[in-house]
Amino acid sequence: MSELLRRGPFFDRRRPFDMPEPFRRLFEGELDKDMIRVEEEARENELCIRAELPGVNPDEDIDISVTDGVLTISAERRQEERHEDKEGFRSEFHYGSFYRSLPLPAHATAEDIKASYKDGVLEITVPVPTPPEEDTTGRKIPINRA
């Protein structure tokens, strides 16, 4: 019986220690591979977000949007590699969609956000205006007699 189980497609392996894709991704920590890696830095009156996006064309493959106080970065990567040698020809495609959503600080407005792309890094600058000071002195409310 165990011999039959080992022959099934679940255990069909190319190498002795290769495991099926879902398990490999779990053990190698790739479950979040569709998420864009970001670094956030709070500066004086602004938030700087740097996103790692190598190998993409920023004019065609990256979309940045703001909805309900959430900044969303989405990108698509398309890459093709061709190898040809005396043993034959091999072509490999790398493609996929990636995204990341980040809540914006209070009082940040989409109109003031700026983005730039250089050397595979997308940098987004979000101005964060100083919130208006709250009135801490209070106010006495008069009571009218009817």
Domains of the chain: 32-127 (2.60.40.790)
**Averaged pLDDT, 32-41:** 81
Which residues in 86-143 belong to E strands, given as ranges?
88-103, 114-118, 121-127
Residue 19 has what pLDDT?
55
- What digits encode the pLDDT tens for the residues 69-125? 899 999 998 777 788 887 787 777 777 888 899 998 888 888 889 999 999 999 999
3 pLDDT band (50/70/90 cuts)? very low
Under 8 Å between Cβ of 99 and 36: yes
Residue 14 has what pLDDT?
40
> Residue 74: beta bridge partners?
63, 99
46-52 and 121-127 beta bridge pairing: antiparallel
Amino acid identity at 127: P
